Amino acid sequence: MYHTWIRPAVVSPDTPSVLCFYAITSIAATVSLTIPLLPFSTRKVRKMNLISPTGVEVNIGDTLQPDEYIGMCRREILDKFLRDRAIEFGAAPINGLVTSIDVPVDHKTTEKPYTINYQEYQEGTSVGVAKSMEVDYIVGADGANSRVAKAMDAGQYNFAIAFQERIKISDEKMKFYEEMAEMYVGDDVSPDFYGWVFPKYDHVGVGTGTVVNRPAIKQYQKAIRERAGDKIAGGKIIKVEAHPIPEHYRPRRVQGRIALVGDAAGYVTKCSGEGIYFAAKSGRMAAEEIVSLMKGGARLPTQAEVEKTYIKKYDGAYGPTYTVLDILQKVFYTNNGAREAFVELCNSKYVQQVTFDSYLYKRVQGNNPLDDVKLLGETIGCLVRGYSTAKPDQEFSNPVESLKRI
């Protein structure tokens, strides 16, 4: 079900209308915070337990300042918070399912309106009413399977499948996860990503993801439950979730008077798989630039203008982060030897500092040349030891499914 927001700021009947699609997309949601706990954030994570393929554990988090933490949220709470706030600021919500978007052939060179066709649902009804509306600008925030992206011919991208079970464990077992999240690496839980146990309000989210062997996702999910072992033993599965996670930017993020943000644009980082922050940030940046270009509703922004403002500023701010995390994933998530090295490397306080700072503040950290040189030497040493002690990766062949695109 899509929650559609239309005309967030109506100045006059002649003001161009902007349609923003909003959809529930991410399943392992985290929000990095250095401010008091927000209404939708239910756990403060200050420690991360990393577990290698052979069971070596490294606990990181000592470098965090007292006011720093990773806020864990539940999407059902976050989504309601965002909807309610949008309504408070004047958005008119429509509970509907978009069925199609009519895009004029010459929409890049004219100001012809777009036609949105959708089924509107009223509370207590299961049958929608067919409706349509005309709008002048569309911001697509409708997730990885974006219908807006399809309508505007944004191009394809490869994707991972993330699978998560929410598991209710005893209060005694939840004490371990009071401020703790766990990250498991190994080809048993994922051949190219990691498995996790994230604390939620009164339960844990246990999951994994993969691009190269998506059909085996349930096998990897079984393995992450086994790796967590006694920590979640006796727990009751209260919800099962699965979702595609973009692997890279869409080839085209702006077409005519249509722009993409969040998962629809492909704004999910490699290595960590985080998308919540970048969805919210890109949505704000796109909105600010589009509103500014509209000059109080006097004109409509062009594709070139939005590319030179929103797209250029976003890529300038976060492009290096995506690049570095992509490299790290290719280096450390490809085989068990590299995964063993990754966990050992995280014993370094400098690595912990750089890792947490980069995650919290969404910028590539680490500007100490001497420490960076030492880190290079440590990385080589860890890789040598990792490859010498790691168990061989299990072979699999999946050349067709691993290359499928949305």
What are the chain's domains?
2-26+76-155+248-323 (3.50.50.60), 44-64+158-247+335-406 (3.30.9.10)
Q: Per-residue pLDDT averaged across 21-47, rounded?
A: 48
pLDDT for position 19: 54
How far apart CA 259 and CA 303 sit, in angstroms, is 9
Buried b (16+ CB within 10 A) or exposed e, 63-91: ebeeebbbbbbbbebbbeebbeebeeeeb
How far apart CA 124 and CA 386 sit, in angstroms, is 57
Residue of higher predicted confidence among 306 and 156: 306
- Sheet with 30-33: list strands edge to edge: 30-33, 69-73, 41-45
pLDDT for position 40: 52
pLDDT for position 37: 42
pLDDT bucket at 354, cuts 50 / 70 / 90: confident
Q: What is the DSSP string of 207-245?
A: EEEESTTGGGHHHHHHHHHHHHGGGSTT-EEEEEEEEEE
Render pLDDT for 284-312 as a digit per residue (tens, 0 to 9): 999 999 999 999 989 999 999 999 999 99
Q: 178 pLDDT exceeds 60? A: yes
Q: 50 pLDDT exceeds 80? A: yes
Q: Per-residue pLDDT averaged across 317-330, rounded?
A: 89
pLDDT for position 366: 62
Average pLDDT over the chain reads: 85
Render pLDDT for 62-88 as a digit per residue (tens, 0 to 9): 888 888 888 888 888 888 888 899 999
pLDDT for position 305: 98
Q: 35 pLDDT exceeds 50? A: no
Highest mean pLDDT among 65-69, 156-160, 310-314, 395-399: 310-314
**pTM of the model as a whole:** 0.86
How far apart CA 159 and CA 245 sit, in angstroms, is 5
Rg (CA), the chain: 22
- Supply the DSSP symbol for 249: -
pLDDT for position 325: 86
CA 103 to chain centre: 28
Of 58-67, 319-328, 349-358, the one with minimum mean pLDDT is 349-358
User: Look-up: residue for tokens 């490859």?
Assistant: 387
Strands annotated E in 23-136: 30-33, 41-45, 47-51, 57-60, 69-73, 92-102, 114-120, 129-135
pLDDT for position 23: 34
Phi, psi of 11 (to 5 degrees): -90, -45
Q: Per-residue pLDDT averaged across 11-39, rounded?
A: 38
Q: Per-residue pLDDT averaged across 234-239, rounded?
A: 96
Render pLDDT for 355-371 as a digit per residue (tens, 0 to 9): 777 777 777 766 666 77
Q: 352 pLDDT exceeds 90? A: no
Q: 28 pLDDT exceeds 90? A: no
